[in-house]
Amino acid sequence: MPAEPADLDPRRWRALPVLLIGSFLSFLDVFIVNIALPAMRDDLSASSAQLQLVVAGYGVGFAVSLITGGRLGDIYGRKRVFLWGLSSFTLASVLCGLAVNAEMLVIMRVPQAVAAAMLTPQVLAIIRVEFAAHERAVAVGLYGTSMGFASIVAQLVGGSLVTLDLFGLSWRLIFLVNVPIGLLALFLATRMLRESRSRGHVTLDLPGAGLVSLALLLLIYPLVEGREAGWPDWAFAMMGAAIAAFFAFVAYERRVVRRGHTPLIALHLFRVPTIAFGLLTSVIFFSGLAAFFVVLTVTFQAGFGYSAFSTGLLFLPFAIGFSAASALSGRVAPLIRGRTISVGALLMGLALLGFVTMITLTRGQFLIDAHDRPLLVGLFLVYGLGQGLAQPAFIHLVTSGVGVTEADAGAAAGLFLTTAQSSLALGVAAIGDVFFSWLGPAPLPLDYARALSAALICNLGLQVLTFLLVLLLPWVSRWQKRIEVPADDEIQGARISGS
């Protein structure tokens, strides 16, 4: 084993669990809120659009703040920003748990997501700085495990907290449980983490972050609220304005590069065919993932009378399959000749087809019949295995694939995370609209089954399209090798400025 550099933190392995608590909390609140949506609806008289915004608001806030969160750590110190993020996340969790109405809950989910986006990039950055090259694979693997563990805990603990309804707090406990965990992590992080920051010249692109946030808001809000309002003219006007805002964002980013500053998004990466292809396919793949759990949770609890705990138990096979496949994806890839995305999308598509077929054949009865429970568990397990195989492969495709230089790897990672999180939020809005549009003012269980089937057919279409697109990947890779990516002033300026 190679000798460790003298400047590595001797306490790094003891500090790693503290870092992982931060990433655990960030991802826990992605998963756990789905279990509590029906309880939120009943307690706060929330509309279906507001339930969508509770999920999508976190996704948008997380997506547009990730890159800025990483840059803040580079400039002001990664330990300092980690502590800022953890403190802010804990406070925002308290405010979410104390929300007096649905509007307050939707609003407070955004700063909670922004705080999570301050936390998450620091975890990976500190691992890169404090661990030797031969140690990083283990440390990053544990980071991925924390994500899978968060999904398992979300199903079991989230369902239990809502069902137990301790002190009459119901869904509020899924946010308030973050407080003791956050305070413990703050206490340990203050003492165990070592400060580090970037030695290069890094600048913040706050106007760029504002423009892309505005564009996503103008797109997602009318998708969520437009259906309940009867698709008025303002909804289409906002979506048109979203397109204009995206173009304004691109124009502004080009100007930032010309001035020699660090842009929010490294636009030159879109000229690398494998990155552009990977991002496009990622949008399609990730758009259905969060919506899958939103529509199933509402169907199980509101449509068929499952408790939150019972729903969590049903989702547990997914979490186990996802965690196992994610951990083993690196070993499985050589056995299937690197076709992990194709195989993953295929498994997810087969599971979705199984759901739709059984709902159609049994008129939704298989969702509640005890003798069909093994089939239901098996479908969740297959879906989780597929997602666990495909998701790490997407990260590798965009950040480490053909045409990605070492200098571009960090920017590509930030671009991928932003794209994936934005797609999750967009999918909740779009597929959620399909689902809720099938429910009448007083829906019966059969109406929920039909709405679920319609939503899952949308998810199935996304996975089929992902599978077909990935078949083109070898052609895209060969194309990448035949062309020269233009090294004009804009590209060179972007690389010099650290994008």
pLDDT, residue 302, reads 87
**Are both 338 and 283 inside the same structural domain?**
yes
In the predicted structure, residue 331 carries a pLDDT above the cut 50: yes
Q: Does a structural domain hold residue 126?
A: yes
pLDDT, residue 493, reads 42
Tell me which of 12 and 93 has the higher pLDDT: 93
**Are both 210 and 316 inside the same structural domain?**
no
**Are both 356 and 441 inside the same structural domain?**
yes
Mean pLDDT of 232-254: 94
Q: Does a structural domain hold residue 89?
A: yes
In the predicted structure, residue 334 carries a pLDDT above the cut 60: yes
**Are both 311 and 213 inside the same structural domain?**
no
Q: How many structural domains comprise the chain?
A: 3
Which H, E and C letters describe 39-91, residue by residue? Answer: HHHHHHCCCHHHHHHHHHHHHHHHHHHHHHHHHHHHHHCHHHHHHHHHHHHHH
* Structural domain boundaries, residue 498: 268-499
492 pLDDT band (50/70/90 cuts)?
very low
Here the tokens at position 114 are 């922004």
**Are both 442 and 387 inside the same structural domain?**
yes
| % of the chain at pLDDT higher than 90 | 35
**Are both 210 and 308 inside the same structural domain?**
no
Here the tokens at position 142 are 């544990």
pLDDT, residue 267, reads 84
**Are both 246 and 356 inside the same structural domain?**
no
- 243-269 burial, b at 16+ Cβ within 10 Å, e below that, comes to eebbeebeebbeebbeeebbbbbbbbb
Q: What is the CATH number of the domain that holds 379?
A: 1.20.1250.20
Question: Tokens 């084993």 label which residue?
Answer: 1
Please state the pTM of the whole predicted model. Answer: 0.81
**Are both 45 and 140 inside the same structural domain?**
yes
Tell me 9's DSSP state: -
Q: Does a structural domain hold residue 95?
A: yes
Contact 452, 246 (CB under 8 A): no
